[in-house]
Structure 1
């Protein structure tokens, strides 16, 4: 099967799942509870093992396929799409950052158990410390914005070693969600992405052993590709929100009876102002989709280089992904806002749920400031400069 055919197959799986998620997405959004039944649907669909290499029990798909799946789900349920996006990136540490032996072990365990990977790695909240013991470390501290940590099977945790021979080094481990001392606080109360399970986690003297380690911190280009991967996932998440918002708006416009009393048209769908706005938004979304597909395939090419990838390769793809993030951020915000201009006052009813798209994109687009992505692209274009490797760049 060609890569394109494989992508189409998995996008079709995601689109079918999205139809199921659409049935109660508004009720679930209003409840704000963790999406445990929805994660079971992801497991049953095969999407959770999409990026695990086939030789280790997974589907062996490419990143361009994975982000296309995220995009398809985000059209209906951006919260569940976000959890899946973070799952892919968290799990990918087994391929990018782990040793070959450790990577195989984590991949096999993930595929066999159909794990969903949450995380607790927020770098702007560095209140985690690994204190060495005779048997490993004791982990203590609190992390906010820990997506999927309260709903997934395992949690990717990153912190700094405090004391001993490795003092000051960054350590990343994988812990079961129900391990003693791991306490999700259930404090996620955002405007949107309400089912993304993104609350804080407190670690109270958690025993950590060497078998829990997935990687030590590294600026090696290939090992740090999970950061461009998450930004690529965001770009596709935002594009999916824009697509879903416009699709719902089109349905609402087609159902509208009559037209504005000053209009020369008999129906809202024939009004030139309505057609102008829909045409403008559709064109911008189509352009963003083309950019997303091109960028996804470019990322595949860099990933395929493996550890032969250079700093220049990583820097170049990071800029390409930053371009996508800029475009999809603006496109989704603009679309989710302007669709109300053509759907009318009745579309503002809570029962319609058209606001879900705007609340979701407005919330997640604040993850990291898009203005710094603009600077990242500008510095590269003008001066050939790359940003320092981090969990955001």
Structure 2
């Protein structure tokens, strides 16, 4: 489907995709594995090219729009939102870490062939090494938490060279020696394919390595982890929104007032109304903070190589606060939805616990305690968060 740059048309397309994903989301969560059919729906939607410039067949959309679509999809299927969100993160990484020539080539290939990118970066997993033999480069080892790698067309990978430096590269997913394992079976985010990837003497070519400026090689390049964190925050918030909507729908159609309330209709039960108001308020606050961070990211993105340490630092604090609040709201709403719906909503066929399981697994991506530390360090010592792959 052609990509449009009209935001109203984009969100209309997202709504269509959401409806299709929602029809099977609960069942697919129980099954796990790769959502081949649903990934194709995303391909067909044209949304994979949302971030790309128009010159490459994309919609050239801003970060608030891109992140907004991720949040919308997460409200019905956070696994597919995770994979979809990483598509845009990876394309941004290519632009931030690579040369203009590399960016142009990879963007052109992505736009022309509607490529779906997968992740095998994981800088904390140091089991993958880059070696040189007779002037040729080879990657060997294994990576964990490789979200979206299965059924992908291209992979963003990393390895340590002989000097211990992190090397990031973009390669075809079907290159000889790459094995995409079907070994993700965690309690949540069950269709993110976040299993392992093996590299057995995989040849790597020099023009595939993103060296200039390279991983976090400039202030502008260090926006990459902030984009990643804000992507995750929008997924957590989307999960909270979806969980609350499920609670509302169940209560409207199947809810009963508690006998002690002395009311006839569930809509008059004071404690259900209280709980709905409480959770709605928390979501509204998280939405405001997350949207502010997205707007500030867009402003920083426009600065390009003129971005200063102070500007980057302020954005990092916004993103840290967003990560903390969205994580907490996601866990709170996905747990307390049962206080609204009652015991009958715990039926396994409804699978409403998937909201909590998804946000619980995903929010462990990196401990929010370290985001709180960064916020506290700024307040007390005026130290900006130090750029890393997680801050």
Give the TM-score normalised by the residue count of structure 1: 0.95
* Structure 1 equivalent of residue 23 of structure 2: 23
1:260 alignment counterpart: 258
SS at 1:155's partner residue? Answer: strand
C-alpha deviation, 1:159, in angstroms: 1.4
Equivalent position to 1:381, from 368, 373, 379: 379
2:316–2:385 Cα contact (<8 Å) kept: no
Residues 255 and 341 of structure 2 are in contact (CA less than 8 Å); yes or no, is this contact kept in structure 1?
A: no
Please show how residues 40-55 of structure 1 align to structure 2 within 5 Å: 40-55=40-55
- Residue 337 of structure 1 is matched in structure 2 by 335
Deviation at 1:257, TM superposition (A): 5.1
What is the alpha-carbon root mean square deviation over aligned residues? 1.4
Structure 1, gaps ≥5 residues long = none
Deviations 1:25-62 (Å, cap 9, x if unpaired)? Answer: 12211221212222211121111001111122211111
Q: How many angstroms apart in 2 are the aligned matches of 1:6 and 1:338?
A: 37
On the 8 A contact 1:94/1:104 being kept in 2, the answer is no
Shift of 1:84: 0.8
Question: 1:97, 1:222 within 8 Å by CA — same for their partners in 2?
Answer: no
* Of 272-281 and 115-124, the range deviating more from structure 2: 115-124
Q: Distance in 1 between matches of 2:389 and 2:216?
A: 11
Structure 1 residue 134: deviation in Å?
Answer: 4.0
Partner of 1:112: 112
Contact 2:170/2:209 (8 A) holds in 1: yes
Equivalent in the alignment of 2:224: 226
Aligned length: 385
Mapping 1:119-130, distance limit 5 Å? 119-130=119-130
Pick the aligned partner of 1:347 from 345, 348, 353: 345
Structure 2: gaps spanning 5 or more residues = none
CA contact (8 A) 2:334 2:355 kept: yes
Partner Cα distance (1:59, 1:337) in 2: 37
C-alpha distance in 2 between matches for 1:229 and 1:257: 40
Name the residue aligned to 2:172: 176
Whether contact under 8 Å (1:319, 1:377) holds in the other structure is: yes
Could you say what secondary structure the match of 1:369 adopts?
A: coil
The within-5 A match list for 1:294-333 is 294-333=292-331
Secondary structure of the residue that 2:58 maps to in structure 1?
coil
Aligned 8 A contact 2:335 2:356 in 1: yes
1:281 corresponds to which residue?
Answer: 279
In the alignment, which residue of structure 1 is the partner of 2:74? Answer: 74
8 Å Cα contact 2:236/2:327 also seen in 1: yes
Q: 2:8, 2:324 → 1: CA distance?
A: 26
Give the CA deviation at 1:6: 4.0
362-371 or 36-45, larger mean C-alpha shift: 36-45
Distance 1:295 1:40, change over 3 A: same
Residue 87 of structure 1 pairs with residue 87 of structure 2: yes
Q: What's the secondary structure of 1:92's corresponding residue?
A: helix
Q: Report SS of the residue matched to 1:168.
A: coil
CA distance in 1, matches of 2:10, 2:136: 41
Task: Measure how far apart 1:109 and its partner are.
Answer: 0.9
Alpha-carbon distance in structure 2 between the residues aligned to 1:7 and 1:192:
31
